[in-house]
Amino acid sequence: MQTAILVALSVVVLYVLQKYLEFRRAVNSIRDHPGFRTVFTMANPLLMWRIPGIAPGNFSPWTYKHQDFVDKGWDVISQVHAWPRTTVTYLLADAGAIRDVANARARFPKPVEQYKILSFYGSNIVITEGDEWKRQRRIAAPAFSERNNKLVWDETINVMLDLFDNVWGDKQQIEVDHIVDLTVPIALYIIGIAGFGRRMSWSDEEALSSGHKLKFKDALHTVSTDLFLKVVCPGWLLRLGPTERIRHFRLAYDDLELYMHEMVRARKQSEKKEERYDLMSSLLDANEDESDGKTRLSDEELVGNIFIFLIAGHETTAHTLAYTFIMLALYPEEQKKLFNHIKSVIGDGRIPAYEDMNALTYSLAVFNETLRMFPPVNGIPKYSAEDTTIVTSNAAGEKCTVVVPQGARFLIHTPGLHYNPRYWEDPYEFKPARFLGDWPRDAFCPFSAGPRACLGRRFSETEGVAILSLLVSRYRIEVREEPQFVAETFDERKARLLSSAQSITLHPVRAPLVFKRR
């Protein structure tokens, strides 16, 4: 028995020694560039919060924003962890370094294996690299056209007018227990019609389609909300369905897949070749226009890209709008500036048209400032395909050449960049006007950066400006008063309303607001 224990201890000691030597080699390979040295990686979902020496924290980019870079002295810092595999990761909050990494796709490709969560319905533009990405992007890019942007604007206005007329009606005050409960259906209805030609209304008149157990909007909302279950739950557990939430997710997941395949088949088999500018129609048209049939997207790839459009167009915009309404409620002086600006553009009380968008500069500034302060994705991964170097600097203007070994990981640290005082004066303050003049575009990447930047940026901006401009022109936004919080200070109220969590994107935990008719 003693011999067995000694053998086991020897194996453990040898393993620990091997991992330590691998760890030291990794630290030496980067010349011990300042940063974190931990046992576990930042990507460990079980260790979301920072434990010094143990784990840097999965939620730490949002929690610490630019402070880690201040503490370590540079806007590129390292993170070396020992287990399960010794890895070097660089965190980037330097606009120049980010621009270089994002634009050099061959040297710094995307680690597509980290995006498996988005591949369940089929290959798509987000999870591919190299020639395959180029093929899919060439076909998908034309779907995001000026005609589609105008459709987004018009349908956004229709969705909001439907809300005002048929839900809020003549009420002088509308209380919302959690703002996400309002912004999620708004974004869902807009992506439904502007993305896929499926009109949905607030009256919930959508009929249950034959062969389905859930309505389209319910299936989409459930999948986008609980997609993480597909990652954390093995297939047998999903099939077993031990909880109501897991069973409902599996039902929604299967139903949404069926809906998407039906949409593709229906459009392909349609005899009426009417002009339609929703994303799916444009994607199918571009696919059919490929002269070389070998380069066309398969049905699985079409469904995979449709799913990406649905998720990206639904969740990210919904959560950004939620934060926007919270900030306007917290800062009534900024809301007044926005209202006055909107009235100066549409002062005759008319409904804003797409042609007004370029004049609604403060609406876009408010939307962009929200994206700066609450970027939907806190980290954008890359890796180094070769031994190379990058250059960074610090607040004093000093330069540093950072050694990058082949295989090193990068994380474009969006909060670190967006809260970097080198680029943004008073970065923790809500100042939409900073986006009215010249502003540091390389230091703003809520839609990623370089050739792989989000194709749907203009779609999102158009939707956001239309919603803000129409809603703020008619309603004043305030924080809903609750007796248990009557004695809180402004800072306490702000912290409570902006308390956030991360699913696919960053989102507020709970923020009750009131909309009062002007």
Residues of the chain above pLDDT 70, percent: 97
- Residue 517: how many CB atoms within 10 A of its CB? 13
- Mean pLDDT for 86-94 is 97
Nearest to 446 by CA among 502, 369, 358, 510: 369
Q: What does each C-alpha distance from 461 to 86, 321, 455 come to in angstroms?
A: 41, 11, 12
- Cα-Cα-Cα-Cα dihedral sign, residues 269, 273, 274, 280: positive
Decide if pLDDT at 269 tops 80.
no
Per the CB < 8 A criterion, the answer to whether 63 and 57 are in contact is yes
Instruction: Report pLDDT for 223.
Output: 86
Nearest to 402 by CA among 94, 40, 81, 86: 94
Instruction: Report pLDDT for 174.
Output: 98
Which H, E and C letters describe 399-429, residue by residue? EEEEEECCCCEEEEEHHHHHCCCCCCCCCCC
271-298 pLDDT, tens digit each: 655 667 888 888 888 888 776 666 788 8
Pairing of strands 379-383, 173-176: unpaired
Instruction: Report pLDDT for 225.
Output: 78
Per the CB < 8 A criterion, the answer to whether 443 and 294 are in contact is no
61-83 pLDDT, tens digit each: 999 999 999 999 999 999 999 99
The structural domains of the chain, ordered by start, are: 31-115+146-178+313-518 (1.10.630.10)
33-43 pLDDT, tens digit each: 999 999 998 87
Pure H helices in 164-227: 180-190, 196, 216-226
- Mean pLDDT for 122-131 is 90
Q: Which pTM value belongs to this model?
A: 0.94
Instruction: Report pLDDT for 171.
Output: 97
Decide if pLDDT at 235 tops 80.
yes
Nearest to 212 by CA among 246, 245, 240, 251: 251
- Residues contacting 324, CB < 8 A, separation 6+: 366, 367, 370, 464, 468
Nearest to 122 by CA among 295, 365, 307, 255: 307
Confidence category of residue 416, pLDDT binned at 50, 70, 90: very high
Q: How far apart are CA 273 and CA 279, in angstroms?
A: 16
Nearest to 471 by CA among 330, 367, 333, 355: 367
Decide if pLDDT at 338 tops 90.
yes
Instruction: Report pLDDT for 273.
Output: 56
Instruction: Report pLDDT for 31.
Output: 96
Known binding residue 400? Answer is no
The string of DSSP letters for 451-481 reads GGS-TTHHHHHHHHHHHHHHHHHHEEEEEPP
